[in-house]
Each structure stands twice: as structure tokens, then as C-alpha cells.
Chains A and B, each alone.
Chain A
Amino acid sequence: MSEDKREMFDEQDDGKVKESRRDFLKKIGVAAAATAAVPAATAKAVSIAETLQSHFELMSDEQKQKAIARLEKRYSEQFGKQTTVANTPAPDGVLFGYALNISKCIGCRRCVEACVRENNQSRDPKIQWIRVLRMNRGNLTFDPKHLNEGKPSSDPLGNYGIQSGGHADKAVGISGEAEHYYNPEQVPEENAFYFPVQCQQCEDPACTRACPVRATYRDPNGIVVIDYNWCIGCRMCQLACPYWARRFNWSEPVLPNEDMNPKTHYLGNRPRMVGVMEKCTFCLQRVRDGRYPACVEACPVGARKFGNLLDPESEVRKVLATKQVFRFKEDFNTEPKFFYYMD
């Protein structure tokens, strides 16, 4: 009898122990899961659906709408303002081209500021798609016949400088020492000219060839775009670009809520995340709606022209027809559609 009782107690004890162990294990399990989930939660994690979504061009219309709805919800919550992510298609019969008058550019960098505001670029670290390089007059040649003359000479096209020939300190043909961090009291400075550089929207771009996942590609209007959700951040495109026109998000971009432009496009100015590449898109969200890029509107001296290369009456075609034009790093044969010109 005493044995039976003991067995009963054993069972009861055992039962109690089991129950408390279960509770204990449950709690530990929950704690462990929560601990393991912390990194994802703190990383402002992109939703799983967003991570697993397909390449934008390969999505069905329904999938695109879902992806855009997800993004709009996320951005609206993140920035505390109603954000739209457009998917305006590329207009037919358009090939965008850009022309910049370097004899007019005064180096004020209003184009840079307008671009940063319009395209939701990171404020810290500073990411800027347009870089204005300050160059000393005399550091650049437009004419190969002067290269080996060995002494400075004037340029009949305008005093934009001739670095002709070489000497002990500067080898023949080495020219173009540029300064991005210039900060004078006023611009333009004497003996300086300014050379803005941004994505040249090449017709045969090296960057798209370098991308192993085709996250960057040329759209039907000739603009090279990036599917930020498809980009794997390998930076091969950045290495391939001869203009160093691509920017990489080395850390989570800092974009204050009040500075965020809520009118975005999926392939254009929607906020980017850490670990993806970005670059100028000719303000795709604007030009697909028939507007000028922000930099064109912001330029106080009208040095920037933009238009349809297929239209002989467009501004950019008129520039090509009537002005002295050159392209930057033409020898790379990437066929940039960004033209520099002089009056």
C-alpha cells in the first residue's frame, strides 16, 4: 500500500515537475526567439515579401502594384507623410539627351542642391549625384595639336585653358587637376572654370554590362536605371563606370522626414537602403511626366539643356547642330548622351 502511495506521489511530483519544466522551456524558447529576432527588428528590416520580390521588369502588373503598395506603406510610416511611388511608363518615341554649357556654368552648385532635394539623397553621409569639379584655367586642352608644344598657349575658342606639353613636374598630356571641395566666398572665381559631372546616360553603358544580376539596365528612353530591390551591392557597376557617377550606400541613408520628397518613382527617387547603388536618372519621376530634371530648372544661368534626341527641334538637338560640342571620355566608346558645349 505504501509502495502504491509512493508511486502516486512520484507520478504527481513527476507531473508537477514536467509542467514547471514546460513553462520554463516555453519561456526560454520565447526569450531565445525574441533575442534572435532583435537584429532583424532593429535593422528597420525590409519586409520578407520585399526581400523576396522579383526583378521589377519581370513582375506581372499585379505583382508590381503589390510591391508599390508595400513600399508606399513603408515609406509613409517611416517618414510620417503620405508617400507615392509611381510606376509611370516610359513615353514612346523619346530618347533623352542632355547638354551642358561649360562656358556658362558658374559653379554655384544649385543643381547639386536641387538634385539632393528632389532625389531623396542621403544627408549623412552626404551622397550627391552631381559633382561640380573646379579646374584651373590652363589645365585642360581641347585641341590635341597643342599637347606636345611644351608651353602654355591661348585658346582661340575661349580662355578655357591649354595645358600644352609637359615639364619636369607634369608629364605631357596629364591635365585636369580638379577640386570638388572648393569653397570660395563667391563664384565664379577668376582663373577657374567648372565642370559638372553626373551620370552620362551612355547609349552603350559599361555599368549595365558589369552588373551580374541585371539590376541596372537602360530603359526605353535611354536612361540607365537601377532596381534598388534587385541590386546586390557588389559595386561592379561602380568600378565599370568611367565617370565615377555611381554612389554606393555604405550605411543606412539619413534622410530627415521634413526633407523627404514624397513624390517618388519606383526606378527613380524613392528612398534607398543600405548596400545598394544609386545614381542620376535625369529625374525619371519628372521627365516621364513631361517635366524638366530638377537640375535644369535650378540652374540660374541656363547652362543646362534637356530634350528629346529624336526630335530635331528639341533644345538638345539644336545645341548639337549649332554649338561646339564635346563628350567626356569619348575614347571609352560608351556613347554618352550627355554633351558639353561652349558658346
Chain B
Amino acid sequence: MAEEQMVSVGRRKGQDEVIADKRVFLKRAAAALGVVAAAGLTGTAVIQSARKVGGTNARARCAEEDVRQQQIMVGKQLLLMTEGEKQQMLDRILSSHSRKVS
């Protein structure tokens, strides 16, 4: 009888351990999922705020590019080509175009 009780207690202990293991596992799984969800939410929030800022920044960046383009003329001389230079230029372009790359 005592032996049976011992066996029964042992089985219950084993079950308790299994249940405890399951709980730990489930807790960890839930925690992991929580982290994934939190990361997703944070990502969304970051992207949305970045978009808001990006919208403003995009206009600023485009304006900056405009200014840079306005400056492309600075310090440049525009030299008219002579007849010979025009012919040389055309020859260069046409020969470059028809060049075969091996």
C-alpha cells in the first residue's frame, strides 16, 4: 500500500514537473511573441514618424538640389566651337558609338 502511494506521489510529482516545464515554455513563448509584436509596433511607429519627417525633408532635399543645380553655371566658360572642333567632336562621338567592345 505504502509502495503504491509512493509510486502515485512520484507520478504526480513527475506530472507537476511537466506542467511546470510547460508553464515556463509557454511563458517564454508568450514573451517572445510579445517582443515580436512590440518590435512590429515600434517599427510601424518609427516608419510612420520617419515618413512624416521624410515628407518635409524630401521637399527640403529637392530644394537643396535646385540650389546646387543653379550653381552648376558658376565658373564655367561656354566656348563656341570652330568648324574644325565641331567636326572633331562629331567624329569622336560617332567613332565611340560604332566602337565594338570585345
Contacts and interface: CB of A to CB of B under 8 A. Distances in A.
Interface of A: 3, 7, 10, 14, 18, 21, 25, 28-29, 31-32, 35-39, 42-43, 95, 124-127, 131, 133, 135, 140-144, 147, 157, 173-181, 195, 197, 203-204, 222, 242-244, 247-248, 250-252, 309-310, 320-321, 324-330, 335, 337, 340, 342
Interface of B: 8, 11-12, 15, 19, 22, 26, 29-30, 33-34, 36-37, 39-41, 43-44, 47-48, 51, 54-55, 57-59, 61-62, 65-66, 68-81, 86, 89-90, 92-94, 96-97
B6 to A, nearest CB: 12
A73 B45 CA distance: 30
Contacts of B44: 35, 38-39, 42
Given A125-B62, A203-B96, A133 B73 contact: yes
A21 B24 CA distance: 13
Given A35-B36, A244-B72, A342-B80, 11 more contacts: A35-B41, A39-B43, A43-B47, A95-B97, A133-B73, A142-B79, A174-B75, A176-B76, A180-B66, A244-B68, A340-B78
Q: Can you list the 9 inter-chain pairs with the closest CB atoms, starting with the nearest?
A: A176-B73, A250-B58, A251-B58, A36-B40, A35-B40, A244-B69, A32-B37, A125-B62, A125-B59
Contacts of B11: 7
A143 B79 contact: yes
A251 B79 contact: no
Contacts, number: 161
A176 B58 contact: no
Contacts of A176: 73-76
29 contacts: A7-B12, A10-B12, A14-B15, A28-B30, A28-B34, A32-B34, A36-B39, A36-B43, A39-B47, A42-B47, A95-B97, A125-B58, A140-B78, A142-B79, A143-B80, A157-B80, A197-B72, A203-B97, A244-B65, A244-B68, A251-B55, A320-B90, A324-B81, A325-B80, A325-B81, A325-B86, A327-B89, A328-B78, A335-B92
Contacts of B72: 178, 197, 242-244, 329
A195 to B, nearest CB: 7
Nearest to B68: A244
Contact of A35 (B37, B57, B59): B37
Contacts of B68: 244
Contacts of A135: 73
B26 A174 contact: no
Contacts of A324: 80-81
